Amino acid sequence: MAGLMFLTLVKLAEQDAARAWARTARVAAAECGDSTLHSWVRAQEAYIHYYAGQYREALAVARHAHELATHQPCVGGVLAAALEARALGRLGQPDAARAAIGSAEAILAGLAADQVIASAFGYNEAQLRFHEGNALTHLNDVERAWAAQRRALELYPDSDYLDRTLVHLDRA
């Protein structure tokens, strides 16, 4: 519940409150001993830093989430790898960003079917292509970014106004 709370606060640009709830979620996830949950919390927490323009911190948190998820493919792991790519794109590290995209693709391919959903608790190819396109946009790799964005727009339903809009903003 604390994880969902901080995600909501991130969307409302309430950074301090989001950080406080993220800390609560992180402690709870660590105490319960579930590395999959802990990975998900940390991956989601990377968003706080990313949207605050703290790309190095976002990268560090995403990498920690990725490390927590090495035992099996999980939503936290794929999201972490995708957020690594976005942060690396912002930091101007093309080779590392592309490697992170490759890692995200591999993890996504290994997710259980019930995890490949458009949800805060799932991850799907549309989300990956959005994240890939965003990373590549910041790297000025226009051709590859355009292809990833085109695929994201094909996959997102017309009713997904937020993510479709974000893809279009990257294309602008």
Q: How many domains does the chain have?
A: 1
Span 76-86, average pLDDT = 97
Higher pLDDT, 137 or 7: 137
107-120 pLDDT per residue, tens: 999 999 999 998 88
What is the chain's mean pLDDT, rounded?
92
Using CA atoms, how far apart are residues 12 and 81, in angstroms rounded to an integer? 24
Q: How confident is the model at residue 81 (pLDDT cuts 50, 70, 90)?
A: very high
Note down the domain range covering 47.
2-171
152-165 pLDDT per residue, tens: 999 999 999 989 99
Portion of the chain with pLDDT greater than 90, in percent: 71
Note the pLDDT of residue 17: 81
Q: Is the pLDDT score of 3 beyond 80?
A: no
Span 91-120, average pLDDT = 96
Instruction: Give kind and range of the element (H or E) at residue 33.
Output: none
DSSP of 90-153: HTT-HHHHHHHHHHHHHHHHHS-GGGSSSSTT---HHHHHHHHHHHHHHTT-HHHHHHHHHHHH
The CATH number of whichever domain residue 150 belongs to comes to 1.25.40.10
Note the pLDDT of residue 10: 76
Q: How confident is the model at residue 2 (pLDDT cuts 50, 70, 90)?
A: low
Q: How confident is the model at residue 7 (pLDDT cuts 50, 70, 90)?
A: confident
Note the pLDDT of residue 125: 97
pTM for the whole thing? 0.92
Note the pLDDT of residue 130: 97
